[in-house]
Amino acid sequence: MKTPGTTAGAYAARLRMLLILAIAIAGGVPALAQATGNQSDIAAGKYLAAAGDCAACHTAPGGAPFAGGVVINTPFGKLLGSNITPDQATGIGNWSDDQFVAAVKYGVGHHGARLYPGMPYIYFNKVPAADLIKIHIYLESLPPVSNRIVSNQLPFPYNIRLLMRGWNLLFFPNGGDYQPDPSQSAMWNRGAYLVQGLGHCAACHTSKNFLGGDHTGQEFQGAVIDNANAPALVNEPNNGLGIWSVDDVAAYLKTGHNRYAGAAGPMADVITYSTSQLTLADDTAIATYLKSLPASGNPAPTPIAANDPAMLDGGHIYADECAACHNNAGTGEALLFPALKGSAVVQAADPVTMLNLILHGGQDVGTQSAAAAAMPAFGAELNNQQIADVATYIRNSWGNAGSAIPDDITR
């Protein structure tokens, strides 16, 4: 047997490791030992990947799991979710643990390329490297899929990755691992870790400034992302979680339904691929943390008067088209048709999600039984004025409070 380090191959391996360390040091990324996988680590990594909702951005509709190709629309152009299967030519099969952690936790990709925050490293930065390595071990256990993805589809000048150095200086705090709050319970801290870190909930539920960074002071107060409304996660009484209990939030995360809402649109994917896969204890921990977030203090809108022409016309349309499923009281049918009364989506400041559901229809999570038909599309049946009127009626009935909808809804 040859002594280690005496062959040209061994010298080449040492040289590669030195280069990896040099890249890590240059990017300010701490070097880590390469971990080896076992069944326990693979199972843990699978669970953590679900908590991080990795499938949402890395599994295209109809595509192989984690093989990439998902379109991520941003105000600056389009990105594509990368192939994170262990294919060596088109995936991450030749990535070390160091390189994987550098990408996910610090936004430094293969060969030192700066990643865009479509990969939410600004939130994953709170996740300990040990957890990220378990995700890497799980991904390495999957079948490799050859699927070359050109992730950067942004137009000039946004396609210049070097610009991310300046963006990071402005919007990436790089505060390191989540630090538990000793004044809070273990459950609260677990929920905070999942929400702030792996779950990266702020990526959708915090509004962004003109450069795409989070608005300071508006954390979890809701936002419009890719033509969908992400409601507030704070305890707002009308368009947040104010009337929901911890159990209501946990049930929604676990099943997609509770007594107030049914998940549809992007949140339906989050529940299908992420929160429904978590233990009830973790969903309850998330709920515990979210219910501790104070309301923004912004005044609630004044409901539109019941005798307003839009309310009168909308009421007639609702009785004809909507009441059969959502009933006259707007409370829906448990696990079949979501409630409209008290719905944060219905009362959101920007009603884009509600309008999209009326125009184009949709299928709620967990309503695939024969008794529950998908939400039908009314875009061809009702004109803009009728859709505006029925939306205004729903947003201002049964104790709801939302602004009136103009009849120009073509946006």
Global pTM? 0.81
122-130 mean pLDDT:
97
- What's residue 288's pLDDT? 98
157 pLDDT higher than 60: yes
Average pLDDT, the chain: 85
Identity (one letter) of the amino acid at 154? L
Residue 363's pLDDT band, with cuts at 50, 70 and 90, is low
> What is the percent of the chain with per-residue pLDDT over 90, rounded to a whole number?
54
Q: Please compute the mean of the pLDDT values over residues 50-67 and round it to a whole number.
A: 94
- What number is the average pLDDT over the span 61-76? 90
Q: Is 369 exposed, middle or buried (0-12, 13-18, 19+ CB in 10 A)?
A: exposed
pLDDT higher than 60, residue 42: yes
Q: Does residue 208 register a pLDDT over 50?
A: yes
> What sign has the CA pseudo-torsion 197, 202, 203, 209?
negative
pLDDT at 25 over 60: no
Q: What is the pLDDT of residues 218-249, one digit of tens each?
A: 999 988 887 778 889 998 887 889 889 999 99
What DSSP string describes 257-296? B-SS-B--THHHHHHHHTGGGS-HHHHHHHHHHHTTSPP-
Distances (CA, A) of 144 to 83, 90, 93, 95, 152: 10, 9, 8, 13, 22
Is the pLDDT at 391 greater than 70? The verdict is: yes
Find which of 203-217, 349-363, 394-408 is predicted with most confidence, using mean pLDDT.
203-217
| Contact present, 68 and 149 (Cβ < 8 Å) | yes
Token digits for 263?
A: 């998940």
Q: Cβ atoms within 10 A of the Cβ of 143, count?
A: 11
For 134-179, give the DSSP string: HHHHHHHTSPP-------EEPPTTTT-TTHHHHHHHHH-----S--
Check whether 192 has a pLDDT greater than 70. Answer: yes
Range with top average pLDDT, 18-22, 252-256, 343-347: 252-256
Strands 71-74, 77-80: parallel, antiparallel or unpaired by DSSP?
antiparallel
Mean pLDDT, range 386-403, rounded to an integer? 91
Cβ 406 vs Cβ 392: under 8 Å: no
32: pLDDT confidence band, cut at 50, 70 and 90? Answer: very low
The pLDDT score that the predictor gives to residue 73 is: 86
Ranges 60-74, 146-160, 281-295, 329-343: which has the least confidence: 329-343
Q: Is the peptide bond preceding residue 157 cis, with omega within 30 degrees of 0?
A: yes
pLDDT for position 27 = 42
Phi, psi of 146 (to 5 degrees): -80, 110
Confidence tier at 410 by pLDDT (50, 70, 90): low
Domains of the chain, each with CATH number or no CATH: 35-171 (no CATH), 186-290 (no CATH), 309-395 (1.10.760.10)
